[in-house]
């Protein structure tokens, strides 16, 4: 079976991708290839960050690999927090509760609550670069709702359901999430590329 390195050690992301590629590709984590580096993410777009991480691994380990980056883009905030989503409240650390508080504060009195979660995956396969996108549109409610999931899940309600990711349950979320859609686009491409090679 062909091997592909996913530039992450996030167990949730690994199991999501492995569930879709099961039987077609063996997905290795950074741990699996002995990479314990803090991979730089200094680009100013999601695409740039995903490519930066994938190139870092491809250049050093000479493997086929992919990396992802996700951002929440809020219309009334001109697309922010975007690439700064993880460290929105504090530039030096990831504090999910402070992030959601800051988001609700910034949107106080704002009637345009439209936002989108976007995931970009960058793939380097046989030396060629490809990118895939997954997007889900939704709204930011006036207050956090629901207890499941992580990060901004209590303050993002996809248009398809009208209730927050944190109120939907993980399985329902994973069927329509930005990351699931990006992963599905990646997997469709990989399987097609595999068929064409024979
Ligand atoms: P990453 O690029 O996957 O690490 O995502 C960047 C940041 O976006 C995370 O630290 C979370 O704060 C947020 N985020 C990404 N995906 C989700 C999600 O599915 N729900 C809620 N927050 C998310």
CB 39 within 8 A of CB 65: no
The two structure tokens encoding residue 170: 């993980």
Confidence tier at 75 by pLDDT (50, 70, 90): very high
Sorting pLDDT into bands at 50, 70 and 90, what band is 12? confident
User: Which comes out higher in pLDDT, residue 188 or 1?
Assistant: 188
Position 198 scores a pLDDT of: 67
Does residue 48 register a pLDDT over 70?
Answer: yes
> Which pair of structure tokens corresponds to residue 121?
């995956």
- What's the mean pLDDT when you consider all of the chain? 94
Give CA–CA dist 140/129, Å, rounded: 34
* pLDDT for residue 2 is more than 90: no
- Structure token digits, residue 52: 């930066």
- Per-residue pLDDT, averaged over 23-34, amounts to 92
- Cβ atoms of 16 and 66 within 8 Å: the answer is no
pTM greater than 0.75 (yes/no) = yes
Q: What mean pLDDT do residues 79-106 have? A: 97
- Ligand 1 atom nearest 69 alpha carbon: 2
Sequence-separated (6 or more) residues with CB below 8 Å from residue 122: 47, 50, 51, 53, 54, 66, 67, 68, 129, 130, 131
**Cβ of 145: how many Cβ atoms within 10 Å?**
15
Considering only CA atoms, which residue is closest to atom 9 of ligand 1?
A: 86
Among protein residues, the one with the nearest Cα to ligand 1's atom 20 is 153
Report the pLDDT value the prediction gives residue 68, as an integer from 0 to 100. Answer: 97
CA distances (Å), origin 179, targets 14, 71, 93, 182, 192: 12, 10, 22, 5, 20
Query: Which of 85, 117, 133, 182 has the most ligand 1 atoms within 8 A of CB, as the residue to mutate?
Result: 85
pLDDT score at 170: 83
């Amino acid at each position: 079976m062909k091997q592909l390195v996913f530039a992450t050690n996030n167990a949730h992301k690994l199991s999501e991708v492995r569930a879709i590629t099961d039987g077609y590709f063996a997905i290795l984590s950074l741990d699996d290839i002995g990479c314990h580096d803090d991979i730089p993410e200094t680009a100013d777009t999601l695409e740039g960050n995903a490519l930066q991480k994938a190139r870092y691994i491809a250049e050093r380990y000479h493997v086929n690999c992919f990396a992802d980056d996700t951002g929440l883009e809020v219309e009334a905030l001109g697309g922010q927090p975007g690439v700064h989503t993880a460290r929105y409240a504090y530039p030096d650390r990831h504090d999910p509760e402070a992030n959601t508080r800051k988001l609700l504060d910034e949107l106080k009195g704002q009637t345009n609550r439209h936002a989108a979660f976007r995931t970009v995956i960058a793939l380097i396969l046989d030396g060629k670069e490809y990118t895939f996108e997954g997007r889900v549109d939704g709204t930011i409610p006036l207050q956090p709702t629901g207890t499941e999931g992580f990060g901004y899940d209590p303050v993002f309600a996809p248009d398809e359901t009208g209730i927050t990711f944190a109120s939907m349950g993980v399985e329902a979320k994973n069927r329509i999430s930005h990351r699931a859609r990006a992963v599905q686009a990646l997997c469709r491409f990989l399987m097609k590329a595999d068929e064409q090679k024979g």
